[in-house]
Amino acid sequence: MTNPKPDKAFFWGILLNAIYIVAEVGFGAAIGSIALVADALHNLSDVLGLAIAWFAAWLSCRKPTAMRTYGYKSSSILAALINAVFLLVAMGAIIVEAAGRFAHPEPIQGGIVMIVAGVGILVNGATALLFHHGKDHDLNIKGAFMHMAADAGVSLGVVLAGGLYLLTGWQWLDPTVSILVALVVLISTWGLLKDAVNLAMAAVPKAVDPQKVSACITQFPTVVSCHDLHIWALSTTDVALTVHVMRDTSENNDWFLEKLGQKLRDQYDIAHVTIQVEYGDYQPLRMKDNPY
């Protein structure tokens, strides 16, 4: 299965979910189910999350300006962070609502709920698949994927709860399954939130090992040492690096910069490499919090 381009994935994801929301509101109003209408409002937050991720993906492709020399690439980091927060809030709201159902249980129309939730599995699952391929390379895409995969999981829980309710009549099944699913989503979302916060604070992306990068530089021909090594994310896909390198010769400097930069780009997928070369007995004054 070929992976659709991000623009197409966002378009179809938003369209499918918008149609599902309209249908869910219609069914909820027809049978007088507040739960279905409430779930439709929750799905509306999914559409908003997808729209934010899409807007950030579009922004990150805009050309740099005199004031924004890296362009708008970091907007994808903010979108991933917003999506993670959306997920945490949504799952928290589900847990609160489910806890209230224990004190005030409400009968549910198991058959209709199962059908509507079953459609939700298809819609959310299909949308998640649109982003499956890109999630390993782009945290913004991963946020969209997890958002939709989480909703597919919630819908699956609703189907199971509805089926068991039809068999047993136990009203506590619905809130119990909802809480279990929400807790699983919260645990998986924590990693997304942590990664997004780290990128927003210019931490080294977890796919890059700074010790290996430092060793790669110092083992390069004519390099004596390196210092002031900084690695950070410009976006959820682009990594930048700056470093001061001490050489034992000033010969072939252009060749040296080209080959070392190319090695860092190829081996560690670092898009923007800036190298400052130094010679002689220069002793660098390292910043207290920078071990490199």
Q: Looking at residue 225, which CATH number applies to its domain?
A: 3.30.70.1350
The CATH number of the domain where 20 resides is what?
A: 1.20.1510.10
In a domain, 287, yes or no: no
Same domain, 185 and 255: no
| Three-state SS letters, the chain | CCCCCHHHHHHHHHHHHHHHHHHHHHHHHHHCCHHHHHHHHHHHHHHHHHHHHHHHHHHHCCCCCCCCCCCCCCHHHHHHHHHHHHHHHHHHHHHHHHHHHHHCCCCCCHHHHHHHHHHHHHHHHHHHHHCCHHHHCCHHHHHHHHHHHHHHHHHHHHHHHHHHHHHHCCCCHHHHHHHHHHHHHHHHHHHHHHHHHHHHCCCCCCCCCHHHHHHHHHCCCCEEEEEEEEEEECCCCCEEEEEEEEECCCCCHHHHHHHHHHHHHHHHCCCEEEEEEECCCCCCCCCCCCCC
- pLDDT of amino acid 274: 93
In a domain, 286, yes or no: no
pLDDT tens-digit series, residues 264-276: 999 998 989 999 9
Same domain, 218 and 190: no
Same domain, 81 and 219: no
pLDDT tens-digit series, residues 136-180: 677 778 777 877 887 787 778 777 877 887 888 777 777 777 777
pLDDT tens-digit series, residues 40-50: 666 777 787 78
Listed residues 200, 230, 254: the one ending a domain:
200
In a domain, 284, yes or no: no
Query: How many domains would you assign to the chain?
Result: 2
Question: What percent of the chain stands above pLDDT 70?
Answer: 86
Same domain, 196 and 236: no
- pLDDT of amino acid 65: 83
Confidence check: pLDDT of 31 > 60? yes
Same domain, 167 and 225: no
Per-residue confidence band for 243, with pLDDT thresholds at 50, 70 and 90: very high
Same domain, 174 and 240: no
- Compute the C-alpha angle 53/177/80, nearest 5°: 15
- pLDDT of amino acid 210: 93
Kindly state the greatest CA–CA separation across the chain: 83
Taking a C-beta distance cutoff of 8 angstroms, is the pair 174, 108 a contact?
yes
Same domain, 52 and 98: yes
Same domain, 217 and 267: yes
How many whole angstroms separate alpha carbon 144 and alpha carbon 80? Answer: 8
Same domain, 84 and 165: yes
According to DSSP, the residues that pair with 244 across neighbouring strands are: 227, 276
- pLDDT of amino acid 41: 63
- What single letter denotes the amino acid at residue 87? L
Burial call 174-186: b when 16+ CB within 10 Å, e when fewer = bbbbbbebbeebb
According to DSSP, the residues that pair with 275 across neighbouring strands are: 243
Same domain, 261 and 151: no
Confidence check: pLDDT of 292 > 60? no
If one compares 287 and 144, the residue with the highest pLDDT of the two is 144
Question: What percent of the chain stands above pLDDT 90?
Answer: 20
In a domain, 122, yes or no: yes
Ranges 48-52, 219-223, 249-253, most confident: 219-223
Domain range holding 155? Answer: 6-200
Q: What is the pTM of this model?
A: 0.69
